[in-house]
A and B are shown apart, each in its own frame.
Chain A
Amino acid sequence: MDPASRGSVSAFEPLSSHGAHDDDDHRVNSPKELFRLKRRVVITGVGVRAPGGNGTRQFWELLTSGRTATRRISFFDPSPYRSQVAAEADFDPVAEGFGPRELDRMDRASQFAVACAREAVAASGLEFDTLDPTRVGVSLGSAVAAATSLEREYLLLSDSGREWEVDADWLSRHMFDYLVPSVMPAEVAWAVGAEGPVAMVSNGCTSGLDSVGHAVRLIEEGSADVMLAGAADTPITPIVVACFDAIRATTSRNDDPEHASRPFDGTRDGFVLAEGAAMFVLEDYESALSRGAHIHAEIPGYATRCNAYHMTGLKADGREMAEAIRVALDESRTDATDIDYINAHGSGTRQNDRHETAAYKRALGDHARRTPVSSIKSMVGHSLGAIGSLEIAASVLALEHGVVPPTANLHTSDPECDLDYVPLEAREQKLGTVLTVGSGFGGFQSAMVLRSAEAAGAIA
């Protein structure tokens, strides 16, 4: 094995010729020492494009003010739809610096991803020009990827739906990349100069957590030294609105869009569709330390499980989400009682709110009752595959600022949701360890532990 090609992990190969690996699971009796040998992964750059203001600073201002960015859909006439509310981002691709060729080529979600990647790279202080590009990778999450472009092109090709056998004369040369959206991480890779592993993780509504989790694994095992990781989704387009209408998953509170996203509130009636993106620069803890980087947070643990129950339904007991939390804590060598704040999935459907409340109690026991839990979806809506990354960004900012963002619109208690959901107002609180979770169609349940730079240093 060529040590240079594998990064510093090759120095720690006590048991396997394949790099350092640990266990997700108690049942496999691998030595615990392995935990200590695996590379630690930290976040050194953050980029956000979200409803309510672009950029990480505006995002945090919105979250801590408790204002909401949900509104009546303006991208198209929503009146034929059951749910007419969304959290739209005021994203100006020209102001973001995209040229005519990029505007022609890139789906809106790709533009979001690249804009976030640029912000994260600039914020990281890492000179990407000086890095070995083969040691830089990308992991991008998205649930419905190029949905906006697909629908636009469909209407042209099919004469607004009239032709089943679509007219190839109207074919865009980019149509293939809307069908097969792996061009999205490719765009990010080109923007930052990555030639290492480039992946698109598409696990529905946990994509944004799982894509970052995937990047963590690649750094831990030595497949890359630096990863651009995050997620983007821009699903506010008629077909996506209609498909959530069909299953009554989205809100019908059309007369009060600003207050339509009501996770954990007794009067909630579904989630608010949203768009957005967040990208992070992830790197190995030791190299971040040695270059004197500003470390936003460490990601010491992550796990995902499936419920194997239903493509859209959740059992009330929260069993699989609790298992994901338990394994993520275990990987972090963190006790449940160390969790200072839970950044919830909190979509604002009754079945979700009940499910995750049960999962917290199951995984954290009594500590769940003492832990603040909040959902930023109350303010920025549910941007499907992107939201997991936006929630990681919110968790990182909460750790750094010592502020728990609130759950907006939470006025009416629900007997099934009896934890401290931080209603309406942000709360100042010193935070060392934060748990963020996600839950999605297909049965995916994911959990990630984030630790403040201070706590990470103390543990090292």
Chain B
Amino acid sequence: MATLLTIDDLRRILIECAGETDGTDLSGDILDTRFETIGYDSLALMETAARLESRYDVAIPDDIAARVDTPRELLDLVNGALAEAA
């Protein structure tokens, strides 16, 4: 079975792709915090999605930013795709 994406992996990739928001603590429990609240816009999600696609070899829909609001939803989407591919 393929390696699943964890919240820590996602945290790292988010920072790599979109930087850290000043004044927001990403190290806390952000699973259900809206991306908007932690300062990530649709562009940030698109860059993150592109990185996830190439690193985990999964297909992520074009309109990812409209489909997911929180890190948990993004994890579920990616891990769901990974499980399906496995």
User: What residues of B have a CB within 8 angstroms of the CB of A310 in the complex?
Assistant: 41, 43
Question: In the bound complex, do residue A246 and residue B41 qualify as a contact, i.e. CB atoms below 8 Å apart?
Answer: no
Sorting the interface of chain B by its residue count into under 10, 10 to 19, 20 to 34 or 35 or more gives under 10
Question: In the bound complex, do residue A247 and residue B46 qualify as a contact, i.e. CB atoms below 8 Å apart?
Answer: yes
Q: Is B50 an interface residue (CB 8 A)?
A: yes
Chain A interface residue count, Cβ-Cβ cutoff 8 angstroms:
8
User: What residues of B have a CB within 8 angstroms of the CB of A312 in the complex?
Assistant: 43
Q: Is B62 an interface residue (CB 8 A)?
A: yes
In the complex the two chains form, what is the Cα distance from A203 to B26 in whole Å? 35
Question: In the bound complex, do residue B62 and residue A246 qualify as a contact, i.e. CB atoms below 8 Å apart?
Answer: no
Q: Is B42 an interface residue (CB 8 A)?
A: yes
Question: In the bound complex, do residue B62 and residue A313 qualify as a contact, i.e. CB atoms below 8 Å apart?
Answer: no
Question: In the bound complex, do residue A246 and residue B46 qualify as a contact, i.e. CB atoms below 8 Å apart?
Answer: yes
B31-86 residues with Cβ-Cβ distance < 8 A to A are: 41-43, 46, 50, 62-63
B51 nearest CB across to chain A (Å): 11
Question: In the bound complex, do residue B43 and residue A247 qualify as a contact, i.e. CB atoms below 8 Å apart?
Answer: yes
Q: Is the interface of A mostly helix, strand, loop or mixed?
A: loop
Question: In the bound complex, do residue A248 and residue B46 qualify as a contact, i.e. CB atoms below 8 Å apart?
Answer: yes
A270-320 residues with Cβ-Cβ distance < 8 A to B are: 310-313
Q: Is the interface of B mostly helix, strand, loop or mixed?
A: helix
In the complex the two chains form, what is the Cα distance from A9 to B53 in whole Å? 61
In the complex the two chains form, what is the Cα distance from A312 to B44 in whole Å? 12
In the complex the two chains form, what is the Cα distance from A457 to B63 in whole Å? 52
Question: In the bound complex, do residue B42 and residue A313 qualify as a contact, i.e. CB atoms below 8 Å apart?
Answer: yes
A271 nearest CB across to chain B (Å): 15
A237 nearest CB across to chain B (Å): 21
Question: In the bound complex, do residue A313 and residue B41 qualify as a contact, i.e. CB atoms below 8 Å apart?
Answer: yes
User: What residues of B have a CB within 8 angstroms of the CB of A311 in the complex?
Assistant: 43
In the complex the two chains form, what is the Cα distance from A252 to B62 in whole Å? 11
Interface string of A229-247 (1 = CB under 8 A from B): 0000000000000000011
Question: In the bound complex, do residue B43 and residue A248 qualify as a contact, i.e. CB atoms below 8 Å apart?
Answer: no
In the complex the two chains form, what is the Cα distance from A252 to B46 in whole Å? 16
In the complex the two chains form, what is the Cα distance from A313 to B41 in whole Å? 9
In the complex the two chains form, what is the Cα distance from A310 to B46 in whole Å? 15
User: For residue B65, which residue of chain A has the nearest CB?
Assistant: A248
User: What residues of B have a CB within 8 angstroms of the CB of A248 in the complex?
Assistant: 46, 62-63
In the complex the two chains form, what is the Cα distance from A311 to B41 in whole Å? 11
Question: In the bound complex, do residue A313 and residue B43 qualify as a contact, i.e. CB atoms below 8 Å apart?
Answer: yes
User: For residue B50, which residue of chain A has the nearest CB?
Assistant: A246
In the complex the two chains form, what is the Cα distance from A440 to B20 in whole Å? 26
A367-418 residues with Cβ-Cβ distance < 8 A to B are: none
Chain A residues near B (Cβ < 8 Å): 246-248, 252, 310-313
Chain B residues near A (Cβ < 8 Å): 41-43, 46, 50, 62-63
Given A246-B50, A311-B43, A312-B43, 8 more pairs with CB closer than 8 A: A246-B46, A247-B46, A248-B62, A252-B62, A310-B41, A310-B43, A313-B41, A313-B43
A-B contact pairs, 15 of them (CB 8 A): A246-B46, A246-B50, A247-B43, A247-B46, A248-B46, A248-B62, A248-B63, A252-B62, A310-B41, A310-B43, A311-B43, A312-B43, A313-B41, A313-B42, A313-B43
8 tightest Cβ-Cβ pairs between the two chains A and B: A248-B62, A312-B43, A247-B46, A247-B43, A313-B41, A246-B50, A310-B41, A248-B46
